[in-house]
Every structure is written in C-alpha cells, then in structure tokens.
C-alpha cells in the first residue's frame, strides 16, 4: 500500500534523513521518500504491519506533525 502524508514542519534537509530512517526501520515499511520543498512523505508499506496511525505516530515522535494527503 502507498500512503502519502504531508508535513509543514520540515525546516532543513536533515529532517528528510530523520524521517526516512525512522519510517524504514518500522516493520512492514518497504520504502519511504520525503520531499523537502513540498513536505510530501511517500510511504510504501504493509498496512497490517504499519497502519496510517503508526506511520503518523512515528513521524510525530520526531517532532513533526502530519496530515494524510490524497495520492
């Protein structure tokens, strides 16, 4: 499954690495790509292992708020 999140809290390129690394470490996540300029966070994942709320909670734990965005 592909989930698109959006965050307006990204302030520097190191934010990208922190979020991508955290998401990729989650069980069931196979890909994570963050686009700094748009705040778009694309996540490929197994919904049974990593649901939407788990993805959002992982990013929130890093200090970034997210909202779900349409594909």
Q: Which residue has the tokens 């349409």?
A: 70
Domains along the chain with CATH numbers: 2-69 (3.30.70.100)
* Residue-level pLDDT at 12: 86
Show pLDDT as tens, one digit a residue, over the chain (71 residues): 999 999 998 988 898 999 999 999 999 999 999 999 899 999 999 999 999 999 999 999 999 999 988 76
In whole angstroms, what is the distance from residue 42 CA to residue 64 CA?
15
Instruction: Tell whether pTM > 0.85.
Output: yes
């Amino acid at each position: 499954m592909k989930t698109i999140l959006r965050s307006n809290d990204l302030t520097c390129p190191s934010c990208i690495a922190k979020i991508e690394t955290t998401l990729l470490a989650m069980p069931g996540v196979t890909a994570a790509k963050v686009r700094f300029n748009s705040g778009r966070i694309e996540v490929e994942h197994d919904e049974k292992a990593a649901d939407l709320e788990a993805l959002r909670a992982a990013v929130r734990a890093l200090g970034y708020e997210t909202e779900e965005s349409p594909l």
